[in-house]
Every structure is written in C-alpha cells, then in structure tokens.
Amino acid sequence: MNAALLAAALLVGCLLAVQASVNLQLNKAVGTPYGASTVQLGVATGLLVVLAAVTGALGALGELPGVQWWHLLGGLVSPLYITSGILLLPRLGALAAVGLFVTGQMFSSLILDLGGLFGLETRGLSPGIALGAAAVLAGIAVIIKGQNASAPPGAPPAALGRAGWIALGIVAGGVLPVQGAVNAELRHGLGAPVTVAAFSFAVATLTITVVLLVLRVTGRTPGPRMAPLRSMPWWGWLGGVCAAGYVTGTFLLIPEIGAAVTVGLTVTGQQLTSALIDHRGMFRLPTRHLTVPRLSGLALLLTGSLAVQLG
C-alpha cells in the first residue's frame, strides 16, 4: 500500500481537528456560532465549486434528477458538526471534544456496518472489534474524568450540564459516518467526487443560513458581525479550507486504500492533532496539559479506534 496515500489519510484527519479549533476565532469575530458556521460553510462551498469548475466536473450536476431524494441530504450533517465544535472546544478542550466526536464516529460506523445500512456491506462483530469498541469507551471516559483537572481558569461554564455537552459531542460525531454513507450513494449517481462534495456543502450552507435566520428572527442569537472579520488572524479562515480538504480527501482516498484504513487513519490524525493543540494552547485556545490520565485515555482511544476500523 502506497505510503504517501497512508500519510495523506493521516493528514486529512489532522485537518478536521484544526478546523474545529480555528473556527473558534471565526466565532469570536462573527459573534454567533451559527453565523460562524454559515461563513465557514460558505467558504468551503466556494472553494469546492471553483475546484469542480476547474476540473470540468460541474456537468455531473445534470445527473441529480436521477438520484433518490435521500442521497441529496448528506449536507445536513455539516452544520451540526461544525456548530457543535464551536460550542464544545472552549468548554471541554480539543482533546475531549474530538474524543467525543471520535467515539460517536466509531459506534455509528459499527451500527452502519452491522446493519448494512445505506447500501453498505454488512460486517460481522468480531472479538477484535468488540474489544476496540470497549477501549474507545474506556478512553473517552478517562479523558472526560480528567478533564476538570486540566480546565484552565476562565473556561466557559457548562451551562447545559456535563451530560448534555457529552451527548452533543457523541451525536455530532455519530452523524459523520452517516453523511459519508449518504454521500457515497450520491457519488454512485453523479460519478464525480468533487461535485458531490460541492453539492453537499451547498446544502449545508443553505441549511445553516435558514437556521441562522430563524434564530435571529426569534431573538435566540445575535446578528452576525462582519466588520471584525477584517482583523481576524489569517488562520481563522482555514476552517473552510480544512473542511473542503477533508471531504475531498476522504472521497479520493477511500477507493484507493479502502474505507476502513481511511477512517482509522483520519480519526488517529484527529486525536493526535487535538492533543497537541490542547497541550500547546495553539490557535489561542486555553492550554490543557497532557496529564497521565489524559495520555492514558488518548492511548485507549487510539488503540480502540484502529481496532474497530481494522478489526
């Protein structure tokens, strides 16, 4: 198996962790997580549309009338995942938030595989997969338990309650494999990965825009601020680039190295990068040092993730 492709899968996972972290700067500038998600998804959509146009793949949109209606809904997942990241990272830290996302991804993938849902091939539950799932649960439990000790002064309060934030993280991660399975079906109909990604992000942008408008009209979120974007650090714009890179990268890598290897390496990249971001306080996030319990939890998460995907 080509080492360059394996390294690319690991890098794609790193992009997802960076995306969640830099989006906090976008949220700080815009003043509302729903507005920040709208801007980030709009940037990603623009990049992917340009890429599809340059590669001559936009013509694949002509095949849309021939696909089933639910194949068009993969983009509904992105607003939930991105907004959840903006809400969770300052409260739980990058490692705990990404750990919850990965836990949701792992168990959602298991359900999809065991049930053969959304056109996926049915996969049996081997002892290795069962042990891996148990390791993932143990890992996130250890990380969450040690999270309070590493919380820096001034971290946002968990007004929703710890159980509420944990549930949000698991659900937000759990819908990602569903999105991948739905978009894979759309790819069968359109035949162009970049076009599928562009369409998925266009649906996501439209969805979060409607949500933002409804919340704004009902007074549940402030109006987005555009002026502060001019003074935002340049890397605050990287969320859209990372999102586009992740979606496009996974579409291109899965046919080459397989879905199991791709997911296993991407979640590994997510976890390692989030641990580094926490430990170093990168992207202006509060520093949360890697204590022994958090390192132990990270090791369990890594081991369990790889066991589930490769078992």
Cβ neighbours of residue 254 closer than 8 Å, sequence gap 6 or more: 184, 262
Share of the chain above pLDDT 90, in %: 37
CA angle 40, 253, 86 (to 5 degrees): 25
Of 78, 95, 100, 105, which is closest to residue 21 (Cα–Cα)?
Answer: 95
Give residue 148's pLDDT band: very low, low, confident or very high (50, 70, 90).
low
> pLDDT for 149-195, tens place per residue?
555 555 554 444 578 888 999 999 889 888 888 888 888 899 888 89
DSSP 67-132: S-GGGG-GGGHHHHHHHHHHHHHHHH-HHHHHHHHHHHHHHHHHHHHHHTGGGPPP----HHHHHH
Predicted TM-score (pTM) of the model is: 0.83
Higher pLDDT, 203 or 309: 203
> pLDDT for 222-261, tens place per residue?
999 999 999 999 999 999 999 888 877 876 777 677 666 7
Q: How far is CA 246 from CA 62, 114, 252, 284, in A?
A: 25, 25, 10, 23
Average pLDDT in the chain? 85
> pLDDT for 72-102, tens place per residue?
999 999 999 999 999 998 888 888 888 898 8
Task: Output the pLDDT for position 201.
Answer: 94
Q: Are 98 and 268 in contact (CB under 8 A)?
A: no
- pLDDT higher than threshold 90 for residue 218: yes
Residues in the chain: 311
Give residue 311's pLDDT band: very low, low, confident or very high (50, 70, 90).
low
